[in-house]
Structure 1
Amino acid sequence: MRAVCIHGHCYQPARENPWLGEVEVQRSAAPYHDWNERVTAECYAPNTAARILDADGLIEELVNNYARISFTAAPTLFAWLERHHPEVYGAILVADRESRERYGGHGSAIACCYNHAIMPLATRRDKQIQVAWGVRDFTARFGRKPEGMWLPETAVDIESLDLLAAAGIRFTILAPHQAAGVRAIGEEGWTDVSGGGVETRMPYLCRLPSGQSIAIFFYNGAIARDVAFGDLLSDGGRFAGRLLGAFSREQDRPELVHIATDAETYGHHRTFGEMALARCLRVIEAHRDVRLTVYGEYLEAHPPTHEALIREGTSWSCAHGVERWQGACGCHSGTHPGWSQAWRCPLREAIAMVRDALAPRTEEALAAGVRGDAVDLVLDRWSDESVAAFFSRHAPGGLSPDDRRRVLFLLEIERQAMLMQTSCGWFFDDITEPGSVQVMRHAKRAMDLARQVLDFDIEAAFVEILRRAPVNDPGYATSAEVYDALVRPAAVDLPRIAVGAALYALFGLEHPAAASGMYAVHGDWPYRPAAGDRRILGTVRVRSRATGEEAFFDAAAFFGGLDRVVIGVREPGGDEALRTAWESTDPAGTISRTFSRAYTAPDLSEEERWTIAREIAPGIGEAVSRVYRDSAATIGVLDDLGIPIPGAAARLLAHARIERLLAMIGEGCLDLGRFFALVEEVREAITEPDLAALGAAASRRIARALREAAARPDDPAPLEAISRIAGCAKVFPLSLSLWESQKICVGMRGHYAEMRERAGGGDGGAGRWAEAFRRAAACLGVRVT
């Protein structure tokens, strides 16, 4: 059997605010809300419907790449996908089921250590939980036990391999330079391959001190590098040729050519990489003497004939072993080649100090087995049912409410203490970067909880270690300043969540803490805003599902503009106190004076400001356009007389024209003549129009039209709108994101065949629909026959 396996490591770290359970806005990911959203749009989603083009450059077929490759199902990413993009999440689960049919019962997905901690740097206790939680998370999602498990950054040691084998894991994947020696099973002497000379076209048996063993696949490093860092993804056919050309000339033995890279390579790091992958897979599937496979299937058909020794403390992304995650080894992203990594060692020391200080205290207080089963609570977002079932298993005699809360507190300390060890905290170039800030936030959350439930405070010691960590960003002297500026402000307590709930309720929104499922937030708002009144007052009940703590508050919010926000919270004072506050003629002042904790605009989080701005932005655009309309006659006279238009008026005019173009796109470009005339006005008046906004609006409108067409299968109007919008988009031209629309269009090709048949029988309505679909498909680059 000659086979090819392509492995993609799908992974994003936990980016959620540890106190809220929701990812907050990340400006560096613009125009997306955060990096999870951006990578999903550029990679994870397109790979569920990757385009294969015909000789004319039209979309011939859409394929789910996940059904044909091997991929890592990292828990922190898949938990986020399940909540925020269930359609993508569902398509990946379906792909794994399809792969089991294709690959003899072996699925394409493999598990991952829970939150991507560097295993050789973890304690045995934490390694056990990383493996146990990774297995439980995978089983809950995919409905089967994992055969393989990815070691984060492929960082390996014997103890970790032993724990994988003990958990029933049959294989893992390593880089070729991580092999130390190989020999045929039954032979005595070892061949040294520590220079990267291991034969990668076969699996190896790794015998472990416990008497267990695990299979190891060492991937083809040269091809993997060219995929990740070269131009191999510029041509899917060439990609396939490179893989097919890696077999030996010997025809009498089974061989597996396989590579492993970050899955994000296919679309995020390399634009259209998912298309190159799809074409590559198609070419290999058409090859007569080679088949696609996944590791589990190949291992069952061809058990190891050789065994290997591994180089402990090595990884795939650090030439110095695992120093990238604890020292100034020189490995970096390449973005800032002159920056120092001297901050890494103190950060590792600070995180290890928290880990080692908290572990004995939580372990002493928790019964055996409780820690391993706590992942079930996380999987169910601490639902009342899952909490009840958990305590029914582990405390069948019952616990007092206080004791139950104490256990939940301790388990949340354990979870945060694992998350603070995530590899991304040390991978990049400065401690100010999001990954490093995130692990410090998890550490602070763990320390905050320990202070509450264990009366044990180590935050000062943590910060003192950070004082020794230098910073490359000139805005900070030491990492302790980074902690003060970027970590402390993220912390929230129940009163802060309650007052935030008032602010969100003012705009008719759900608080992120409630949306995440981590909290139950119930607001009673007897004093709600009337039309045009931006204030709200009432009571809020907040309960942490993760820890069981709960409280009631009075909460109020007043909004007089982005720079005039006042929100307040206090202990419940009764309805009379609420009514008095409501009847005040100075709501902002009343909140500041009578509520024990009051916050103004500068105190709002980035997420709160972003949310409010997003809510009021349409109103601002309309207000500006209204000002222009009120001044349009005067501006027109000035223009007719050849008098230069004042700068402010010119900007109003430019904005109003762009707003009108956006509105016309939203309406489906019904008046083409007016649209093109307005485009000419924009070109004359605006040097650099906002093409990104126009392109995004056109993309959204086309997708909406496709959804309408699918929902109304006999109505040609939505399809006709697509042709108009696409025609309008060409005049700038606009860059369009069409993969979602193309996916829907491809799915409608069967209905197109039916309508053509009906049209051939004299059905005029069917004929109009078929013609509209053909034109729309042409605009989207989809082949219809």
Structure 2
Amino acid sequence: MRAVCIHGHFYQPPRENPWLGEVGVQRSAAPYHDWNERVTAECYAPNTAARILDDDGMIEELVNNYARISFTAAPTLFAWLERHRPDIYGAILDADRESRERYGGHGSAIACCYNHVIMPLAARRDKHTQVAWGVRDFASRFGREPEGMWLSETAVDIESLDLMAAAGIRYTVLAPHQAAGVRAIGEEGWTDIPDGRVETRMPYLCRLPSGGSIAVFFYDGAISRDVAFGDLLSDGRRFADRLTGAFSRERGRPELVHIATDAETYGHHREFGEMALAYCLREIEAHRDVRLTVYGEYLDVHPPTHEAAVCERTSWSCAHGIERWRGECGCHSGLHPGWSQAWRGPLREAIEMVRDALAPRSEEALTPLVRDPAEARDDAVDLVLAGWSDECVAAFFARHAPGGIDAEGRQRVLSLLEAERQAMLMQTSCGWFFDDITEPGSVQVMRHAKRAMDLARQVLGLDLEVRFVEFLRRAPVNDPGYATGAEVYDALVLPAAVDLSRIAAGTALYALFGLEHPAAASGMYAVGVDWPYRLNAKERRILGTVRVRSRATGEEALFDTGACFSGIDRVVIGVREPGAGEAFRTVWDNSDPAGTIPGTFSRVYTASDLSDEERWAVAREIAPGIGDTVSRVYRDSAALIGVLDDLGIPAPGAAVRLQAHARAERLFAMLKEGCPDPGRFFALAEEVRRESIEPDLAALGEAASRRITLVLRAAAARPDDPAPLEEVSRIVRCAKVFPLPLALWESQNICVGMRGHYAEARERAGRGDGGAGRWVEAFGRVAACLGVRVT
């Protein structure tokens, strides 16, 4: 058997605010809200429907790459996809089910250490939890036990392999330079492996101290490097040829050519990389002598004939072993070659101090409250997976405190387990991978540490923050805006921390705009509101009570809350312990409620206290009103502007800008209506061009794209009605006038999905069905507009 396996490590770090459970806005990811959104749009989504084009550049086929490759299902990424992109999440789960049919019952997905901890640097109990939680998370999503597990950054040690094998993991994947020696099973002596020159086309058995074993696949390093850093993805056929050309000339033995890269290479790091992958997979499937496989299938058919010893404390992305995650080894992103990594050591020491101080105290505090603290810790992942639902929490305590436990004890247990979860998240590898302690990954691990320390202080009376900051004072910063890591902590970590009263204040602010607070949207908090005093959206004022309960810790409080908004820079929010209702009436009836709130509420927040996420949410809500206001001013002034034009009097510059805005708004309106009269659109577009008006083409393109997708969904729901299809053709014709940048990925997917009905309608049209003929013609025009081949 000659087989090829392509492994993609799909992973994003935890980016959620540890106090809120939701990812905040990340400006560097613009125009997307955050990097999870951006990488999903550029990689995770396209790989569920990768395009294969014909010689004319038309879409011939859509391929779900996940069904044919081997891939890592990293829990922190898949949890986000499940909540924010259930369509993509579902397509990936479907792909794994499909792969089981293709590969003899073996799925394409493999598990991952829970939150990408560098395992050799973790304490044994954390290694155990990373494996246990990784297995449980995987099984809950894919409905089966994982066969393989990816080690974060392929950082390996024997203890971690032993824990994986004990959890039922059959194999892992490592870099070729991580092989220390090999020998045929049954032989005594070892053959040393110099410079990573291990034979990669076969699996190896790794014997473990416990008496167990695990299989290891060492991927082809040269081809993997050319995929990740070379130009191999510029041509899918060449990619396939490189893989199929890597077999030896000996045809008498089975061989597996396999590679492993960060899967974000396919679309995010390399534009259209998912298309090259799809074409490559198709080429290999068409090959007579080679077949695609996944590791589990290959291992079943061809178990190891040799065993290997691994180089412990090594990884795939650090030439110095695992120093990238604890020292100044010289490994960096390449973006700042002159920068120092001296900050890595102090940050590692700070994190390990919190870990080592919290663990024994937490276990000691849990011992009288639950039957077995270690089992409770393992099962705590079920709470996370269920969003700490009341039913799941009740079931958890029924199992782990069968003798009964009071409300205070439940809250204490939940808080301790949440502190331990945060203590694992603070060890995520991305905290040390990049070039400065100001990078988002480093800030994120410090935020998790802060949350863990806050809970340790509340529940155990253990104050670790002073020592933590002392370590950070020894961390030099490359960014000239900061001197030490302690300053970074003050500026970028502390402002992210919120308590229940701050969540109540934010809830009032969001309620002014009819929005749900991120803490409630994430499911991490139960938020109940009662707004007896509330004005409409025109005059934004609100007063009432907010009850906030942390599902993760059980902490709960009730607050009187009031908020006034008269502009993004004129925000006043008040919070206090519940009091007499007359105070609400006093604020409500006052002619200056914003001025009354500071004297009535004990905690007051103003515009300067808003987080970036709060500003972003509010700005999105009020931004459309700016255009409406400008349009209203133009309508009020249009008659006068017309008179000036008739008299030959030059209009003021402001009037010209109003006129330009009004015309752009009319273009928007026509696109949103589906361009019922293309002639009017063309005439207005000509006016815009003639007068050198520069409309926002990106915004116009977005409006057109949304309308096309909406109408195509209607067309798919009404398969014999040509009207929606005719509207799509009109919109695309109008969009070409500028031309507008169109985002057609989803629309093309819908169009491809309708090709089956096209074939059936075409057959009916051939028998004289006039209605079917009109539909066929309309669909053909739409497919041509979208670049989809129909025959």
**TM-score in terms of structure 2 length:** 0.97
Q: Which residue of 1 aligns with 2:355?
A: 355
CA deviation vs aligned residue, 1:11-49 (integer Å, no higher than 9, x gap): 001111000001111111111111111111111111111
* Equivalent residue, structure 2, for 1:739: 745
Conserved 8 A contact 1:570-1:595: yes
Cα distance in 1 for partners of 2:262, 2:650 equals 56
Secondary structure, in 3 states, of the residue corresponding to 2:374?
coil
Which position in structure 2 is the counterpart of 1:445? Answer: 451
1:630 corresponding residue in structure 2 = 636
Q: Quick one: distance in 2 between partners of 1:16 and 1:269?
A: 23
Aligned to 2:86: 86
Does 2:401 correspond to 1:395? yes
Which of 405, 410, 419 matches 2:416?
A: 410
CA–CA separation in structure 1 for the residues paired with 2:683 and 2:472: 60
Unpaired segments ≥5 residues, structure 1: none
Q: Secondary structure at the match of 2:92?
A: helix
Distance 1:8 1:736 in 2: 29
Amino acid of the structure 2 residue aligned with 1:678 = L
Partner deviation per Cα, 1:170-189 (whole Å, 9 max, x = no partner): 10001111111111112222
Cα separation, 2, equivalents of 1:592 and 1:684: 55
Match of 2:56 in 1: 56
**Cα distance in 2, alignment partners of residues 732 and 334 from structure 1:** 39
* Matching residue of 1:603: 609
Question: 2:277 matched to 1:277?
Answer: yes
* Separation of aligned partners in 1, 2:311 and 2:700: 54
Judge conservation of contact 1:162–1:212 (CA < 8 Å) in 2: yes
- CA separation in 2, counterparts of 1:686 and 1:350? 59
- 1:312-323 residue pairs with structure 2 within 5 A? 312-323=312-323
Q: Partners of 2:687 and 2:226 in 1: how far apart?
A: 48
Following superposition, the deviation at residue 643 of structure 1 comes to 6.2
The worse-fitting range, judged by mean Cα deviation, of 633-642 and 73-82 is 633-642
Give the conservation status (yes or no) of the 8 Å contact 2:512–2:537: no
Alignment-derived partner of residue 137 in structure 2: 137
Tell me the distance in 2 between the aligned counterparts of 1:361 and 1:681. 73
The question of 1:767 aligning with 2:747 is answered no
- Aligned AA (2:490): D
AA aligned to 2:74 is A
- Deviation per CA, 1:625-667, whole angstroms, max 9, x where unpaired? 2223333444456667776654444443333333332222211
In structure 2, how many angstroms separate the alpha carbons of the residues matched to 1:611 and 1:507? 9
**2:514 paired residue number:** 508
Greater shift in the superposed pair: 648-657 or 319-328: 648-657
- Supply the AA of the counterpart residue of 1:274: E
Asked if structure 2 preserves the Cα contact closer than 8 Å seen for 1:148 and 1:172, the reply is yes
The residue number in structure 2 matching 1:541 is 547
Asked if 1:208 is matched to 2:208, the reply is: yes
Q: Distance in 1 between matches of 2:385 and 2:547?
A: 24
2:369 aligned partner? none
Distance 2:101 2:509 in 1: 51
Equivalent positions of 1:263-662 (< 5 A) are: 263-366=263-366, 367-530=373-536, 532-635=538-641, 646-662=652-668
Residue 706 of structure 1 pairs with residue 712 of structure 2: yes
C-alpha displacement at 1:471, in angstroms?
1.2
TM-score by length of 1: 0.98
Which amino acid counterpart does residue 576 of structure 2 have in structure 1? R
- SS for the counterpart of 1:72 is strand
Cα displacement string for residues 543-585 of structure 1 (whole angstroms, at most 9, x for unaligned residues): 0000001111111111101111111111111333222222221
Distance 2:333 2:663 in 1: 42
The DSSP-based 3-state class of the residue aligned with 1:369 is helix
Matching residue of 2:687: 681
> What secondary structure is seen at the aligned counterpart in 1 of 2:196?
coil
Secondary structure at the counterpart of residue 42 of structure 2? helix
Letter in 1 for 2:168: G
Residue 636 and residue 176 in structure 1: after superposition, are their counterparts in 2 closer, same or farther (change >3 A)?
farther
In 2, distance between residues paired with 1:501 and 1:265? 39
* Match of residue 11 from structure 1: 11
Relative distance call for 1:189 and 1:557 in structure 2 (3 A) is: same
Aligned to 2:179: 179
Offset from partner CA, 1:187-227 (integer Å, 9 cap, x none): 22222214111111001111112211111101111111111
CA contact (8 A) 2:180 2:310 kept: yes
Report percent identity of matched pairs.
83
Deviation of residue 697 (structure 1)?
2.0
Cα deviation digits, residues 572-614 of structure 1 (max 9, x gap)? 1133322222222111011122111111111111111100111
Q: Distance in 1 between matches of 2:532 and 2:153?
A: 53
Query: CA separation of 1:637/1:58 partners in 2, compared to 1, >3 Å: closer, same or farther?
Result: same
Q: Is the 8 A contact 2:9 2:262 kept in 1?
A: yes
Give the equivalent residue in structure 2 for 1:672. Answer: 678
Aligned AA for 1:341?
A: Q
Q: Distance in 2 between matches of 1:41 and 1:600?
A: 35
Gap change, CA 1:317 and 1:640, over 3 Å in 2: farther
Whole-angstrom CA distance in 1 between matches of 2:707 and 2:347: 47
Residue 226 of structure 1: aligned partner: 226
Q: Deviations over 1:345-381 (max 9, x none)?
A: 1111111111111111112222231111100000000
Distance 2:733 2:721 in 1: 20
Tell me which of 726, 730, 742 is aligned to 1:724: 730
Task: Give the letter aligned to residue 95 of structure 1.
Answer: A
Please say if residues 206 and 307 of structure 1, whose CA atoms lie closer than 8 Å, have aligned partners that are also in contact.
yes
Residues 377 and 194 of structure 1: CA distance in aligned 2, closer, same or farther (over 3 Å): farther
Q: Give the whole-Å Cα distance in 1 for the aligned partners of 2:178 and 2:692.
A: 57
Which ranges of structure 2 fall in alignment gaps of 5 or more residues? 367-372
Aligned residue number for residue 29 of structure 1: 29
Aligned residues: 785
Deviations along 1:63-107, one digit per CA (max 9) or x if unpaired, are: 211010000000001111111111111111111111111101100
Contact in 2 for aligned 1:654/1:686 (Cα 8 Å)? no
Residue 113 of structure 2 contacts residue 150 of structure 2 at CA under 8 Å; is this kept in 1? Answer: yes
Q: SS state of the match for residue 110, structure 2?
A: strand
Aligned counterparts of 1:318 and 1:682: Cα–Cα separation in 2: 55
Mean CA deviation greater in 188-197 or 212-221? 188-197
Specify the SS of the correspondent of 1:60.
strand
Q: State the 1:689 CA deviation.
A: 4.3
Residue 714 of structure 1, CA deviation: 2.5
Q: Is the 8 A contact 1:178 1:194 kept in 2?
A: no
Bigger drift between 484-493 and 767-776 goes to: 767-776
What do the CA deviations read for 1:104-147 (whole angstroms, capped 9, x no partner)? 11000000000001111111111010001000100111111100
Aligned in 2, Cα 1:296/1:640: closer, same or farther, shift over 3 Å?
farther
- Indicate the SS of the match to 2:133: helix
How far, CA to CA, are the matches of 2:316 and 2:462 in structure 1?
38
Q: Give the conservation status (yes or no) of the 8 Å contact 1:52–1:278.
A: yes
RMSD of equivalent CA atoms: 1.5
Distance in 1 (CA, whole Å) between partners of 2:101 and 2:207 is 31
- Per-residue CA deviations over 1:747-784 (Å, capped at 9, x if unaligned) read 11112222223333433332222211111111111111
Cα distance, 1:721 vs structure 2? 1.6
1:151-181 per-residue CA deviation (whole Å, 9 max, x = no partner) reads 0000111111111111111100011111111
Q: In structure 2, how many angstroms separate the alpha carbons of the residues matched to 1:264 and 1:635? A: 54
Question: 1:528, 1:536 within 8 Å by CA — same for their partners in 2?
Answer: yes
